[in-house]
Amino acid sequence: MADKKLLRVAVIGGDGTGPEVTAEAVKVLKAAAELENFEIQFREFDLGGERYLKTGEILPEEVFQELKTFPAILLGAIGHPDVPPGVLERGLLLELRFRMDQYINLRPVKLYPGVETPLRDKGPNDIDFVVVRENTEDLYAGVGGFLKKGTPDEVATQTAIFTRKGCERCIRWAFEYTRKRNAKKRLTLVAKTNVLTYGHDLWWRTFQEVAKEYPDIQTDYNHVDACCMWMVKNPEYYDVIVTTNMFGDIITDLAAILQGGMGVAAGGNINPEPGGTSMFEPMGGSAPKYTGKGVINPIAAIAAGGMLLEQAGFASAGAKINRAIQAVTGTKMKSQAAGKMGYSTSEIGDLVVEALASV
Ligand code: IPM
Ligand code: MN
């Protein structure tokens, strides 16, 4: 008999409720591996606010090197009430995204059955699209500075960086993804070409050029402000959206609430190159006030686990997790809000495991 395929996963539980939700995702991933007959190994990494406060370390070089040997990282949450904003986000989350060149931020926006959306008259058939967000450039590049800091004449700059290589690889990936997804076969570029006449002109021209290689994909363009309006009015119009880092950050929070909020929404930071390390995370934060109470919703973390499998080459196992989640939201959970689910955090994990066997 051939050896079983092996998947090694690094787990960064992180802060607050992060470790609780990743524990449920790990539980579900193990069950999925058993059902689909592959081997999965986990290794936990202690990073986040607690470690930073104790030792001053955010991401030691040897830990980074070790993490790079894994094809996939499952991340819980980063953010600690005693650490000033930006320290952990820049030092850990963005550092991993940038240094591992995870140039795709993939955000599926799917309203699962039984989940409430704030949009009246919209259901699971209407809210089912994907945002592909560039993940390494734009205002996030950290280029800027102060002049005359702390004086009345202070100047601050923060420069958006857009490169041909950076937008082309993201746009190309989005076209490929739209083709593979095989739904409406429509790719919408979201930008602001009427104002950002340099950076977004580069995006626009690159989009038009790459589109020529994909005659089977319908191309489309929205300004970002109009996109926010259409996403609320006609979410069913969208199939795949490709956009810049900063706009992608903003519209994916709008999208997340359409699909039921932070308890449900998951994302992937993907380095699609051979040997690349990708990182998957629930969108929600560390929710300090719920820590240790067993009331936080693990669905988003479990969905991140499903995405991880899909990207790591275990597509049928990933799809199985997605179906199991829908069985649980559709027939068991009372709500997606922390403390109102009708079950504890670990009971939800158990329910998804149970559903896996029959989906
Ligand atoms: C996200 C988050 C991050 C971002 C923060 C935590 C730095 O909002 O993943 O969307 O802005 O990218
Ligand atoms: Mn965000």
Reported as a single tens digit per residue, the pLDDT across 273-304 is 999 999 999 999 999 999 999 999 999 999 99
Q: What angle do CA 106, 108, 114 make, to 5 degrees?
A: 155
Task: Check pocket membership of 225 for ligand 1, CB cut-off 6 A.
Answer: no
CA of 201 to the centre of ligand 2 (A): 24
Cβ atoms within 10 Å, residue 53: 11
Query: Which amino acid residue places its CA nearest to atom 12 of ligand 1?
Result: 249
**Nearest Cα residue to 278 out of 150, 116, 46, 102:** 102
CA of 2 to the centre of ligand 2 (A): 43
How many CA atoms does the CB half-sphere of 143 hold within 13 Å? Answer: 9
Q: For 54-113, write each residue's pLDDT tens digit.
A: 999 999 999 999 999 999 999 999 999 999 999 999 999 999 999 999 999 999 999 999
Q: For 156-202, write each residue's pLDDT tens digit.
A: 999 999 999 999 999 999 999 999 999 999 999 999 999 999 999 99
**Nearest Cα residue to 174 out of 219, 139, 141:** 219
pLDDT at 151 over 60: yes
Residue 3 — pLDDT band, cuts 50, 70, 90? confident
Q: Which helix (H) or strand (E) holds 298?
A: none
List, in sequence order, the alpha helices (H) in the chain.
18-36, 49-55, 61-67, 87-88, 95-99, 164-181, 199-211, 224-233, 245-258, 299-311, 315-331, 345-356
pLDDT at 2 over 80: no
CA of 296 to the centre of ligand 2 (A): 19
Residues in the chain: 359
Tokens of 319: 């799809």
pTM of the model: 0.97
Return contacts of 321-326, CB within 8 angstroms, 24+ apart. 321/28, 321/29, 321/32, 321/352, 321/356, 323/355, 323/359, 324/28, 324/352, 324/353, 324/355, 324/356, 324/359, 325/112, 325/299, 325/352, 325/355, 326/112, 326/113
Residues with Cβ within 8 Å of 306's Cβ and at least 6 positions away in sequence, in order, are: 266, 318, 319, 321, 322, 325
Task: Check pocket membership of 89 for ligand 1, CB cut-off 6 A.
Answer: yes
Tokens of 77: 């949450």
Calculate helix-pair angle for 18-36, 299-311, nearest 10 degrees: 50
Which of ligand 1's atoms lies nearest the C-alpha of 281?
Answer: 9
CA of 249 to the centre of ligand 1 (A): 6
Which of ligand 1's atoms lies nearest the C-alpha of 248?
Answer: 10
Interstrand relation of 266-270 and 278-282 (parallel, antiparallel or unpaired)? antiparallel
Cβ atoms within 10 Å, residue 328: 27
Which of ligand 1's atoms lies nearest the C-alpha of 135?
Answer: 12
* Beta bridge partners of residue 104, listed in sequence order: 134, 270
Which of 73, 80, 93 has most ligand 1 atoms within 8 Å of CB, for mutation? 93
Task: Check pocket membership of 93 for ligand 1, CB cut-off 6 A.
Answer: yes
Contact 227, 190 (CB under 8 A): yes
Residue 306 — pLDDT band, cuts 50, 70, 90? very high
Cβ atoms within 10 Å, residue 69: 11
Task: Check pocket membership of 249 for ligand 1, CB cut-off 6 A.
Answer: yes
Q: Mean of the per-residue pLDDT values for the chain?
A: 97
Which of 12, 15, 89, 279 has most ligand 1 atoms within 8 Å of CB, for mutation? 89
Name the region of 287 (left: φ>0; alpha: ψ -120 to 50; beta: rest): left
Contact 78, 279 (CB under 8 A): no
Contact 240, 129 (CB under 8 A): yes
Task: Check pocket membership of 350 for ligand 1, CB cut-off 6 A.
Answer: no
Q: What is the spatial distance between Cα 72 and Cα 310, in angstroms, rounded to a whole number? A: 11
Q: What is the mean pLDDT of residues 44-50?
A: 97
> What DSSP state is assigned to residue 157?
E
CA of 77 to the centre of ligand 2 (A): 12
**Nearest Cα residue to 67 out of 16, 8, 24, 114:** 8
